[in-house]
Structure 1
Amino acid sequence: MAISYESARDAFAEWGVDCEATLAALKSVPISMHCWQGDDVVGFEARSGASGGGIQATGNHPGRARTPDELRADLEFAYSMIPGKHRLNLHAMYLDTEATPDRDEIEYAHFAPWVEWAKAQGLGLDFNPTFFAHPKADDNLTLSHPDQGIRDFWIEHGKRSREIAARMGEALGTACVNNIWVPDGMKDIPVDRLAPRRRLEASLDEMMADKLAPEQMRDAVESKLFGIGVEAYTVGSHEFYMGYAIRRGTLLCLDMGHFHPTENIADKLSAVSLSVPEMLLHVSRPMRWDSDHVILLDDDILAMAQALVSGDLLARTRIGLDFFDATISRTAAWVIGTRNMQKALLRAMLAPQQALTQAETGLDFTKRLVMTEELKDLPYGAIWAEFCRRNDVPEGLALIKELDGYQSRVAARG
């Protein structure tokens, strides 16, 4: 027999946890859901090509969105299965226009339908320039390319992306995070590791020279350990971008798939928070490398949520998702991943933080261990079920039925 919310609330109250305050806090945390899960990182450019940049969605599950309207319909369904109000993370390759601009020619008008849709849905938008899947990125070098003409092309693309992001933030009344990731690197060992980084720094400086209103747009920079075609050397490493974010005051993006498997994002959050004003998370699940699997409610996600909550970092951290799996229902992937991020935050918020901190600062590690283990037995599921009920979204078997029903309706897309 399922435990009632009232019984679960009382169980947490014994530990000094206010479930009503927790549910209110969880509802206030927006998660930026990524558009590229819905179409396998293909985009809607007339000049589209292969994904490139070490990015690849594998599988051929039926139902891939082929147009902006199909993608928006899929997103609307996914959001209807997720408690709370959230955001959409849009890549520049997802323009919605009959025009055929190259990357250095994109304008706000090419994305205006997305803004009008987001406004109608009550969603915020985030944005990303697209530095891959283009002939001028075939060398896996863009902003750090030795050719000034190639660099200028991508600098212009970055400038226009920032302007578009600012217009989005202005139109929607919520700051749009413009996240910058480039695939630049080399397949084999370079002779000169410094020169490309000098070129990347200079390109970023030129790209971000115009100071745009922070209430409309915030810049973020994102590192990567390695990728397909850049196994030996990545120009924009974590150390490079952490230093850049500190010097230039941008957000620092930490992508869970962009580090060595033994590195811990939960640990990095508190460390970098001392040096950068704000952070951006790309929540993913790597297997052996940056494979971007749908996130589970696993130890890595739970530890990351715990670090955000215990360090009071939620107000300074934007949470975005970044995975793409074409072997399963794409809409289900969005729903599963976003809800798991929320479940992890809920568990962290339901911890008796004051008592845990007192035990730790008092060097009573025995009590800390006993508490953390006993807390695992509390009825988190009943609190989550109540959260879903209050937000009028299904859970359990009812969720499965809704996901299966929608997938059957879009499967004919091929």
Structure 2
Amino acid sequence: MVKSANIEAAYRLAQERYESLGVDVDKVIERLQKVAISLHCWQGDDVAGFEDNGSELGSGLAVTGNYPGRARTADELRQDLQTAYSLIPGNHRLNLHACYGEFHGQVDRDEIGVAHFEGWIQWAKGQGISLDFNPTFFAHEKASDGFTLSHQDAGVRKFWIDHGIACRHIAAEMGKTQGNPCINNFWVPDGYKDTPADRKSPRERLAASLDQIFAEPVNQDHTLDAVECKLFGIGSESYVVGSHEFYLGYAISRQKLLCLDAGHFHPTEVISDKISSVLMYVPEVLLHVSRGVRWDSDHVVTFSDELQAIAHEIVRGKHLDRVHIGLDFFDASINRIAAWAIGTRNVVKALLMAMLEPTDSLQQFERDGDYTSRLAMMEELKSMPFAAVWDYYCQTTGVPVGAEWLDKVRQYESSTLSSRTSQTASA
């Protein structure tokens, strides 16, 4: 364990270094504390949810691994989340999927309501956590052929439209209770495995279905609608109805939030370059920070070049008030609480690094045409002692410093996770 005095001494030295560049480190930490990352509930139970419909995951989604200790009930998931939050500096949010309601029996997707999420709303209120939400357009018999809101069958479309409308009501109640907007994100997996003969009609149906869902005005102080694009998925390799171009146009024309998922584009394409362009035309952006490996494989977020680029783009563009940051990965091959901690700590760490940059100086070099100084300074910043600031930030917010958080995870695994079986727990 690193001594507290040593952490503070290292911080003071780092503070001097950064202040020599014109960066007020104390103000950076104060600013960072206000950023809330939305942790995704589905990492804790491998996207299983708490429904009683017998459906397989499907729709291009797959979770690999069988690490012991998966949450089987809402109470277990909340307990795991509380442990994860205790390892992450800052006050963060929770992103819930509609299939995580407490249904106490079979309730179909078009019948869900606020009552099924009252337990989550009250728990979040008690924890001081704000909620975000997502309709669940997968793992259901009416999604088994790969189509939902763009389905040729009007009855199937109606079912999913009603589900979307119900989810907006739930999200609005969450936002009203917590006193800030609940981001309600629509990801629709519709698409074809092989080359379609008609790309146009499904997109027309999808747009019409979304228009019906969004027809009722909602208080934007309570909930904000987001739509999420994707290049391809398992079972929709050749054609996804809700492509980037489709949803970019939809979001601009309807003034919705556009959700950019780091794994939803070509493996050589990045979302960091898209943020400033998209924000010219849409009110706000939702990010699903993930890590694709060769495909949209939703690996745990690491401290990668692209993660740092995303953070720098948000900070350099002064976009923090218009960008909502959420996570989207699910790995069942490692401890699930550790996955949350690793991914979220890395996102916060990347934001800290970006905030410690003398952005005004770099941009002035650029305006002056002094690209030599711009490049030189960017490279020098890579070896600045930001890790000392990170350790100090963790210590002052009461979370483990360095790899000490892993000891907490191991203790929790021994005391709690090891007693769980792969069987569904009784309610």
The two structures have a TM-score, normalised by structure 2, of 0.96
Aligned residue for 1:408? 414
Report percent identity of matched pairs. 56
| 1:8 counterpart = 2:28 | no
Aligned residue for 1:156? 162
- Alignment of structure 1 residues 9-28 onto 2, 5 Å: 9-28=15-34
The structural deviation recorded for 1:99 is: 3.5
Matched position secondary structure for 1:4:
helix
The structural deviation recorded for 1:48 is: 3.9
- After the TM superposition, which of the residue ranges 24-33 and 47-56 deviates more from structure 2? 47-56
Q: Among residues 133, 137, 141, which one is paired with 1:135 in the alignment?
A: 141
- Alignment of structure 1 residues 341-380 onto 2, 5 Å: 341-380=347-386
Tell me the distance in 2 between the aligned counterparts of 1:320 and 1:373: 29
| 1:285 counterpart = 2:291 | yes
For residues 153-199 of structure 1, give each alpha carbon's deviation from its aligned partner in whole angstroms, at most 9, with x where no partner exists.
00000000000000111111111010000100001111110000000
1:182 is aligned with what amino acid? V
Aligned residue for 1:100? 106
Tell me the distance in 1 between the aligned counterparts of 2:248 and 2:418: 43
1:219 is aligned with what amino acid? D
Structure 2 stretches lacking a partner, 5+ long: 1-5, 422-427
Tell me the distance in 2 between the aligned counterparts of 1:104 and 1:301: 37
Aligned residue for 2:424? none
For residues 248-271 of structure 1, give each alpha carbon's deviation from its aligned partner in whole angstroms, at most 9, with x where no partner exists.
011000000000011121100011
Tell me the distance in 2 between the aligned counterparts of 1:406 and 1:336: 16
Tell me the distance in 1 between the aligned counterparts of 2:260 and 2:273: 11
The structural deviation recorded for 1:236 is: 0.1
RMSD: 0.9
| 1:34 counterpart = 2:11 | no
Segments of 4+ in structure 1 off by > 3 A?
none
Matched position secondary structure for 2:273:
helix
Structure 1 stretches lacking a partner, 5+ long: none
Equivalenced residues, count: 414
Judged with a 3 Å threshold, the aligned counterparts in structure 2 of structure 1 residues 247 and 370 are, in CA distance, closer, same or farther, namely same
1:258 is aligned with what amino acid? H
Q: Among residues 89, 97, 110, which one is paired with 2:116 in the alignment?
A: 110
Conservation of the 8 A alpha-carbon contact between 1:127 and 1:178:
yes
Tell me the distance in 2 between the aligned counterparts of 1:398 and 1:374: 29
The structural deviation recorded for 1:379 is: 0.6
Conservation of the 8 A alpha-carbon contact between 1:42 and 1:48:
no
The structural deviation recorded for 1:397 is: 3.6
The structural deviation recorded for 1:68 is: 0.4
Tell me the distance in 2 between the aligned counterparts of 1:320 and 1:184: 22
Conservation of the 8 A alpha-carbon contact between 1:62 and 1:412:
no
For residues 22-78 of structure 1, give each alpha carbon's deviation from its aligned partner in whole angstroms, at most 9, with x where no partner exists.
000000000000000000000000114211111111000011000000000000000
| 1:186 counterpart = 2:169 | no
| 1:315 counterpart = 2:321 | yes
Aligned residue for 2:181? 175
2:396 is aligned with what amino acid? R
Tell me the distance in 1 between the aligned counterparts of 2:349 and 2:261: 19
